[in-house]
């Protein structure tokens, strides 16, 4: 019994050290993405691509990301959403709404989607679907 407890503790310790070491380093495939980067560069583009496939365009700036939850006027017939599984839009890591603009001013994807970052204002720490 004592041996099993010692082995379990050793495995837990090795796992903790390995996780903390590996999670602080870039992955083998490139730098690790933050939550905001993951959302703006992978998750949201997938959802907007589904909207585009069905409606034939990205939501306008005025429609915003809410068009992924509710059919915007003029697109009710084509809209097959909701394109997000939640009943509300996710918030950025700092508890604020993601920003959206179409047509894009910074990205090459037809729209800009971004977090205002930790300071909450347009600045160099913003996290968007464009490369800096």
Query: Distances from the Cα of 1 to the Cαs of 5, 6, 75, in angstroms?
Result: 6, 9, 66
Place of tokens 């800009």: 112
Please, are residues 114 and 37 in contact by the beta-carbon 8 Å criterion? no
Residue 48, burial from CB neighbour count under 10 angstroms (0-12, 13-18, 19+): buried
Q: What is the pLDDT of residue 99?
A: 94
Q: What is the spatial distance between Cα 111 and Cα 59, in angstroms, rounded to a whole number?
A: 9
Stretch 32-48: mean pLDDT, rounded?
70
CATH architecture for segment(s) 33-128: 2-Layer Sandwich (3.30)
Q: Six-digit token pair at 28?
A: 């083998």
Q: What is the pTM of this model?
A: 0.69
Q: Among the listed ranges 20-29, 74-83, 110-119, which one has the minimum average pLDDT value?
A: 20-29
Q: What is the spatial distance between Cα 41 and Cα 113, in angstroms, rounded to a whole number?
A: 9
């Amino acid at each position: 019994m004592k041996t099993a407890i010692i082995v379990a503790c050793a495995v837990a310790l090795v796992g903790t050290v390995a996780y903390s070491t590996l999670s602080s380093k870039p992955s083998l495939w490139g730098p690790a993405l933050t939550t905001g980067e993951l959302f703006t560069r992978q998750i949201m583009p997938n959802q907007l691509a589904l909207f585009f496939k069905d409606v034939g365009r990205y939501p306008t700036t005025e429609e915003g990301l809410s068009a992924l939850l509710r059919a915007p006027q003029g697109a009710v017939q084509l809209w097959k959403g909701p394109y997000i599984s939640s009943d509300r839009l996710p918030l950025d890591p700092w508890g604020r709404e993601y920003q959206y603009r179409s047509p894009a001013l910074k990205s090459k994807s037809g729209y800009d989607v971004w977090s205002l970052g930790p300071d909450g204002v347009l600045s160099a720490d913003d996290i968007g679907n464009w490369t800096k």
